[in-house]
A and B are shown apart, each in its own frame.
Chain A
């Protein structure tokens, strides 16, 4: 029955493309993925689903039983990465860029194409850094300018008041969890997807200053690391992405892990990605490991409802971002436009896009909960639905990551080249600080065929990874490989649907809209 459903869905999902609207600012020249690529990709996703689930990983994998290589055994790497001067240099560059973005936003050219801040924030930082963190490692822990600035102020304060600290030390209420990060990420997603002036340099400066105020107030009330863990939304989001990455930091002695909370993965062999503990551990207790992609998503620690909600929000807004540029969304906008004009006048499109942004996570969550309820049935009701939802939610991240790469690769590689001339003339005043202001974007840097093949291949690989992660999680949490396998069928259907939707979106054309 599942196979028939999958086949029918795959065949009917190939919808003829019609024009729609682009994400963000600037021009994109992407051709839609042709039908044959889309069908081959969808068929491969379905085929691999059965191959992997039927033939691989029948044992019960151990939490720590994965290959890793400690890069700190190589002295040059150890000296560089643990040198205070290196960390200071990285943080200084980050803070300077942060201040430059605000300055160019306020005083620079209003044309987004001539101003440093829109290209840097929306392409280099949000897309490029997201790719880097997912595919290499969580460099945000060093780059975070809000943390760097606050820690600098803290140091200065403590030099004047050795016994004092620059926060009120209020106890963070446990019930609040990471809901502050959830609300702030939803606000950010609204700016990205629904607010029509998100590429205006001055607006970017205002958003950053507002977010800075919220972040520093949070740090002042509860302490830097408490707010980073619960309220600094980009630290929380990038930590999710970093679980996919092939690097981790590890503290090998459990005594140093006692300060860590549930955001870290902690077991008999120490704790993983606990950045606060890293700062307090001795050099001999630290490891910077290479590891296989995706193992961070399988680590067996408790995941709460707020974490599940934020991951679902992240996945659904990434998908909505692409869905907004499809003919189906264009038709929905057209159908609702007159009503929206009657309600909100000139803000009709903003209202429609906001509605879409709010509805998408709700639909996503409902479908996911329904799938988890089905899995619970398959397990004989030994689990409650929300527990199933929490345990398996990380397994969806590879599909979202893969779609993100497929959809935004050309934006980063083509439009991202704008940063080269903008680095020489960040304010748009006609400067040439680095001699690159005359650089012209090479739009032929990547061929359409390469982009299509990359997009489809990456999405299929993301699907394979998602099934692998779900399978490992099932084997670790459910007794008996037969029960574990049976529990995954509903999730497998969801993953195939999600993957086919991702392929369908990149098969739609993107129109520029003025």
Chain B
């Protein structure tokens, strides 16, 4: 029993080790024909993310889980700034048009993956 408990403790220590601090990450993203040029955005918990988004079609970009959304257009760059405070894998969808109402028109275009530090 002592061997089992010691080994499980050692496993937990090995797997739990980490020693890096939060960073500021900037991503310049383009939505072209309802596809994101960078399909997977990776960050660590505590990082501050700045997403500069341009789209060839007007619509609403929505980051699930965090529930952040904003209008995107082909004229102005949309800036979304937030802290990646929650770990997980969050889908990013695009809803064409100006309506913020979500439904079957939502198109999945990528993922935000936030890893523990």
Contacts and interface: CB of A to CB of B under 8 A. Distances in A.
B3 interface: yes
B15 A36 contact: yes
Contacts, number: 69
Interface stretch (B27-35, B72-80, B85-93): B85-93
Interface in B81-117: 85-91, 104, 106, 108, 113-116
Contact of A443 (B14, B45, B65, B104): B65
B16 A29 contact: no
A453 interface: yes
A48 interface: yes
Contacts of A464: 4
Contacts of A36: 15
A5 B88 CA distance: 35
Given A457-B8, A514-B104, A30 B15 contact: no
Contact of A31 (B87, B91, B104, B108): B87
Contacts of B91: 27, 511-512
Nearest to B89: A31
Given A443-B65, A453-B16, A40 B11 contact: yes
Contact of B15 (A447, A453, A461, A510): A453
B7 interface: yes
A514 B11 CA distance: 37
Contacts of B85: 444
- The bracket for how many chain A residues form the interface is 20 to 34
Interface string B55-69: 000000000110000
B65 A448 contact: no
Contacts of A452: 15
A449 B14 CA distance: 12
Given A31-B115, A448-B116, A514-B108, A37 B89 contact: no
A6 interface: no
Nearest to A37: B15
Given A27-B64, A443-B86, A449 B16 contact: yes
B8 A29 contact: no
Contacts of B12: 453, 457
A460 interface: yes
A132 to B, nearest CB: 24
A34 B3 CA distance: 25
Interface string B8-46: 100110111000000000000000000000000000010
A218 B88 CA distance: 46
A44 interface: yes
A47 interface: yes
B50 to A, nearest CB: 21
B22 to A, nearest CB: 15
Contacts of B108: 512, 514
A51 interface: yes
B14 A40 contact: yes
Interface in A40-61: 40-41, 44, 47-48, 51
B89 A30 contact: yes
A31 B8 contact: no
A455 to B, nearest CB: 11
Given A37-B15, A40-B11, A447-B116, A30 B4 contact: no
Contacts of A511: 91
A426 interface: no
Contacts of A447: 45, 87, 116
A476 B110 CA distance: 56
Nearest to B1: A56
A148 to B, nearest CB: 39
21 contacts: A27-B64, A29-B89, A30-B89, A31-B88, A36-B15, A40-B11, A40-B14, A40-B15, A41-B11, A44-B8, A48-B7, A443-B88, A447-B87, A448-B88, A448-B114, A449-B116, A452-B15, A456-B11, A457-B11, A460-B8, A514-B108
Q: Can you list the 7 inter-chain pairs with the closest CB atoms, starting with the nearest?
A: A29-B88, A448-B87, A444-B86, A449-B116, A448-B116, A31-B89, A29-B65
